[in-house]
């Protein structure tokens, strides 16, 4: 898997995505960090998961290499509509989804609005309920380009601080964040005050109770960006068919810090 995948038009947007593997379709929706893309988010899990599922990992509009329409105003509705168009254009049936952070919120909105499209949900460090915005999430959404700023952000994402000492990894994310059009789009998405963006991504309790699809919630216990006690723990109690797995000694980057056990959880849950 390389950084540059394929393009197709979905909902009038030229969408960049990665596709690999065989089996039932599995849509992977990335989060909202600076410089994020499907490749940056999911490259480590593709080798294991593609042995079991047909993987689709698009760059949500405004992120990565998906084309950014002139004059677009980014919102939850725009992102959800884009993902639904991607699903329908690819004629994906019996579809399961993995959503990371903001991507988890988008997966929940899709399941709420279009349950006919969805088989199972896996939500990883996911927004889903409103919570008082953390200082760390405020920093993520308020990022201004700089190598040291990216290094500081990465220290909040991961429990294992040796990852932050890896300048190659920091450089990778920093370079991604300064590619043409990336930061301009990102800066327009989450202007201060940023609590309203948490609230916009969230569903209310009644909506969550109505989502009956089998759901696996995965969270890092030491996640400082999206606190699991106020999100995944509560969602597990509200959603009728949800279960929760918490990784100890793990921050917001479950798929990076716990790649192998994360993939094992996914494969077991989806193969039942």
Active site residue 126: no
Query: For residues 84 and 114, what is the distance between their CA atoms, to the nearest angstrom?
Result: 8
User: Which residue matches tokens 């810090």?
Assistant: 257
CB 250, CB 258: distance < 8 Å:
yes
- Asked whether the beta carbons of 106 and 78 are under 8 A apart, the reply is no
Q: How far, in Å, CA of 199 to CA of 85, rounded? A: 24
241: its two tokens: 């068919």
Q: Which of 101, 126, 158, 177 is catalytic?
A: 101
**Side-chain half-sphere CA neighbours of 263 within 13 A:** 16
Active-site pick, 81, 158, 223, 232:
223
Q: Which segments within the chain are labelled E, that is strand?
A: 6-10, 13-20, 25-29, 54-58, 95-100, 118-124, 215-220, 242-247
Can 24 be counted among the known catalytic residues?
A: no
Name the residues annotated as catalytic: 101, 223, 252
């Amino acid at each position: 898997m390389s950084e540059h995948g394929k393009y197709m038009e979905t909902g009038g947007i030229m969408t960049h995505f990665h596709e690999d593997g065989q089996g039932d379709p599995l849509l992977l929706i990335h989060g909202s960090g600076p410089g994020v893309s499907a490749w940056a988010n999911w490259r480590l899990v593709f080798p294991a998961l593609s042995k079991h599922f047909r993987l689709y990992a698009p760059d949500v509009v405004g992120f990565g290499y998906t084309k950014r329409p002139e004059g677009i105003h980014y919102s939850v509705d725009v992102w959800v509509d884009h993902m639904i168009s991607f699903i329908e254009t690819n004629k994906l049936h019996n579809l399961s989804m993995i959503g990371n952070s903001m991507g988890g919120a988008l997966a929940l909105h899709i399941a709420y609005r279009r349950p006919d499209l969805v088989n199972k949900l896996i939500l990883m460090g996911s927004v889903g309920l409103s919570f008082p915005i953390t200082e760390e999430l405020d920093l993520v959404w308020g990022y201004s380009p700089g190598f040291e700023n990216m290094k500081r952000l990465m220290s909040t994402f991961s429990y294992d601080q040796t990852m932050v000492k890896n300048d190659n990894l920091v450089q990778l994310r920093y370079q991604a964040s300064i590619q043409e059009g990336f930061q301009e789009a990102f800066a327009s998405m989450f202007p201060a005050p940023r609590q309203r963006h948490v609230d916009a991504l969230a569903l209310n309790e009644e909506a969550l109770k109505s989502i009956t699809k089998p759901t696996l919630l995965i969270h890092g216990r030491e996640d400082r960006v999206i606190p699991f006690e106020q999100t995944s723990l509560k969602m597990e109690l509200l959603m009728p068919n949800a279960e929760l797995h918490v990784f100890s000694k793990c921050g917001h980057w479950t798929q990076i810090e716990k790649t192998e056990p994360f993939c094992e959880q996914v494969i077991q849950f989806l193969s039942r």
